[in-house]
Structure 1
Amino acid sequence: MKEVATFAGGCFWCMVTPFEEQPGIHGILSGYMGGTVENPTYEQVLTGETGHLEVVQITYDPDIFPYEKLLELYWPQIDPTDAVGQGNDRKSQYRAVILYHTEEQRMLAERSKTELDRSGRFSQPVVTAIEPASVFYPAEEYHQNFHKKDPEHYKASRVYSGRDEIIKKYWS
């Protein structure tokens, strides 16, 4: 049995690697969700004016890798106290959002968020949004597995985005 999970957490390139080599993960696509434009291009989304999020959509086997484990991997990739972007990525398409496909995913995400907020790890509240999933638009082919296609550009973008600094600050 396969299910789908969708997460937004800043640049979608940086959201692929934490999930890709886990057992029970059948595929990860970078793409866009939400917004007002059908079949948006990267250039359109990049403006921050279409309302789309950069997301990763993960196809997984919940018997091997349950949704709760996906959430456990998701949180340490983001600053959950930042409602407007991630690191140096400050436009609306970089907001951190858990996009649920089922009522069970919504309940598990809400529970996970509440537990994280109560953990005392953060001096500010956990504000990551939990919203219903909508139409998913796969990103252009050159974005898929970008870290493998252009590792030097990926590394430079990761440094610029501040992703590793977020992880170090909040999760080390």
Structure 2
Amino acid sequence: MKLTSLFSIVILALIGVVLPGAKKPAPAPVSSVSWISLDEASGKLQQQKKPVLIDLYTSWCGWCKQMDKKTYSHKGVAEYLNDKFYTVKVDAESRATITWQGKSYNYNPQYRCNEFALYLAHGQLEFPTTVIIVPGEAPQAIPGYMEPKEFEPLVKYFGEGAYRSHGFDEYHRNFRPSW
């Protein structure tokens, strides 16, 4: 009798160890930003005016990869950017000719980057750099890695149009995060 009870306890313990792992829900799908090309963004701007958000990166930049992994894959960030912006990734070291708003930009061997990157970042190259271009205005370059909580007020400032009536400092003081 004792052997049967001991055997039952061992079986139940094993079931308790095995089944919880089998019952784990599948991980939630990772949200992602719908990146488009500069040409696509240019064409879409003709149809509907929205700010363009450019992720200016390099292939060797570790913080750029972190921003992709932690910030751009955050559900709130991805959903918001997909709704309010045309989102484009630009490799700052691209050797291809880049055309934007009727002007062509080439690779500059002196700076070892594309002139478009120099234009976007106003000559101050740091990676990653988030660039926001409001239609008809100069690019706004914000250098450095940002976590979603740091990124939220920035993109909402432009995405909600607050830049038209408030300075960023004033907006940020009154900002209430939701991500």
* TM-score, reference length from structure 1: 0.25
- Give the greater-gyration-radius structure (CA): 2
Higher relative contact order (CA 8 A, sep 6+): 1
